């Protein structure tokens, strides 16, 4: 089956991104390993520029723009990490970015993108769709649309995360048994699956999702794209997607070992674990893989299991609040 991306595309992206993105550390703690009875490896993309892996794909896509495209700039829809990645990439490349956000998006998110030089275009959720607004701006301004997880160059950029992880694991003589990837649109998951299938075929790749947004897991079982019921919520805002996208799902369907899930309470506990044992600031959607491991839903005993910590963009008050509710839960669960 022909996929839109191949290992060679990732390698090309890795060369192009060298010196631009941070080669984030792969973290491991022997005391945690002893506790879990296996090796836990964290690819810390929360330490990436703009606090998330998204800049890899955005920059690689935008680096390939023609001079005229660069001059006209880009447009995208995102209220989160993809917006920051696109805004920073535009800044570094001397281009410009318009970010479409719902008019009721938090002021902090608008301010963060504005601080990187992006123009924010607010739209009314009730009367317009984000796609329609992006298309209108594309039509009226000639700006290039840079979506978060479907263009082959965006996927190739995301895949450099997995390439680095594999190299870093091999640097310490670890063969990865499994990699869990927090899965929203499915781009990083698909890119990771392509890397492992070609460069480390014994490594199983799993999509990790919030239990109420397990569209990829259920789609893998059904063999076709199925969506999530409307009206649900999760603290994992970055990966709260309605349905797998048509570009990444065929890749994931062909290459993934399956899907695993975690509840919001398990995600909070994983954030607390990352705080305590790795001293990391993480956002909820970034630790859904870690949460699945810690809750025993992805076996680690006697194995080497990696997960990507996809981002750490969370304001201190919300971070503190999620850690506090995690502690209260733990105390309630505890027998003493």
Residues in contact with a second copy by the rule CB under 8 A: 20, 22, 25, 27-31, 44, 46-47, 49-51, 88, 272, 275, 278-282, 312, 316-317, 319-320, 323-324, 327
Rounded Cα distance between 230 and 48, Å, is 33
Residue 281 CB, nearest approach to a second copy (Å): 4
For a second copy, the closer of residues 44 and 251 by Cβ is 44
Q: H/E element holding 120?
A: strand 119-123
For a second copy, the closer of residues 150 and 329 by Cβ is 329
Written as one string, the DSSP assignment of 170-227 is: HHTT---SEEEEE-SSSHHHHHHHHHHHHH-TT-EEEEEEEGGG-HHHHHHHHTS---
Residue 3 CB, nearest approach to a second copy (Å): 32
Q: 103 with 80: CB under 8 angstroms?
A: no
Q: 87 with 97: CB under 8 angstroms?
A: yes
Closest CA to 46 of 161, 159, 207: 161
Q: What is the bridge-based pairing of β-strands 39-44 and 26-27?
A: antiparallel
**How many Cβ atoms from other residues are within 10 Å of residue 21's Cβ?**
25
For a second copy, the closer of residues 174 and 243 by Cβ is 174
Residue 183 CB, nearest approach to a second copy (Å): 21
For a second copy, the closer of residues 171 and 333 by Cβ is 171
CA 265 to chain CA centroid, Å, is 20
For a second copy, the closer of residues 208 and 274 by Cβ is 274
Residue 302 CB, nearest approach to a second copy (Å): 19
For a second copy, the closer of residues 132 and 320 by Cβ is 320
DSSP-assigned letter for residue 57: H
For a second copy, the closer of residues 31 and 107 by Cβ is 31
Residue 328 CB, nearest approach to a second copy (Å): 11
For a second copy, the closer of residues 30 and 223 by Cβ is 30
> In the chain, how long is the greatest CA-to-CA distance?
66
**How many Cβ atoms from other residues are within 10 Å of residue 328's Cβ?**
11
88-109 as b/e: b if 16+ CB within 10 A:
bbbeebebbbbbbbeeebeeeb
Residue 320 CB, nearest approach to a second copy (Å): 3
Residue 15 CB, nearest approach to a second copy (Å): 17
Residue 196 CB, nearest approach to a second copy (Å): 24
């Amino acid at each position: 089956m022909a996929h839109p991306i191949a290992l060679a595309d990732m390698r090309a992206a890795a060369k192009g991104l060298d010196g631009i993105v941070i080669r984030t550390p792969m973290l491991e703690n022997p005391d945690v390993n002893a506790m879990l009875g296996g090796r836990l490896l964290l690819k810390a993309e929360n330490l990436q520029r703009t606090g998330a892996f998204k800049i890899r794909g955005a920059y690689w896509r935008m680096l390939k723009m023609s001079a005229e495209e660069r001059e006209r700039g880009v447009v995208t829809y995102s209220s989160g990490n993809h917006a920051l990645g696109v805004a920073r990439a535009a800044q570094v490349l001397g281009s410009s970015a318009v970010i479409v956000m719902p008019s009721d998006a938090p002021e902090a998110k608008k301010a963060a993108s504005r601080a990187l030089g992006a123009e924010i275009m607010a739209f009314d959720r009730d009367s317009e769709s984000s796609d329609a607004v992006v298309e209108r701006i594309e039509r009226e301004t000639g700006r290039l649309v840079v979506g978060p997880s479907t263009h082959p160059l965006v996927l190739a950029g995301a895949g450099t995360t997995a390439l680095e992880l594999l190299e870093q694991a091999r640097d310490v003589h670890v063969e990865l048994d499994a990699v869990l990837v927090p899965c929203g649109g499915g781009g990083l998951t698909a890119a990771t699956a392509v890397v492992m299938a070609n460069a480390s075929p014994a490594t199983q790749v799993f999509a990790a999702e919030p239990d109420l947004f397990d569209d990829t897991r259920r789609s893998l079982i059904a063999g076709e794209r199925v969506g999530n019921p409307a009206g649900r919520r999760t603290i994992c805002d970055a990966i709260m997607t309605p349905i797998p996208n048509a570009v990444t799902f065929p890749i994931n369907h062909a290459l993934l070992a399956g899907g695993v899930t975690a509840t919001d309470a398990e995600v909070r506990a994983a954030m607390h674990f990352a705080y305590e044992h790795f001293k990391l600031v993480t956002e909820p959607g970034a630790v859904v893989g870690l949460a699945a491991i810690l809750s025993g839903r992805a076996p680690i005993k006697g194995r080497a299991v990696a997960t990507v910590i996809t981002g750490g963009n969370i304001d201190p008050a919300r971070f503190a609040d999620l850690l506090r509710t995690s502690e209260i839960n733990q105390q309630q669960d505890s027998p003493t």
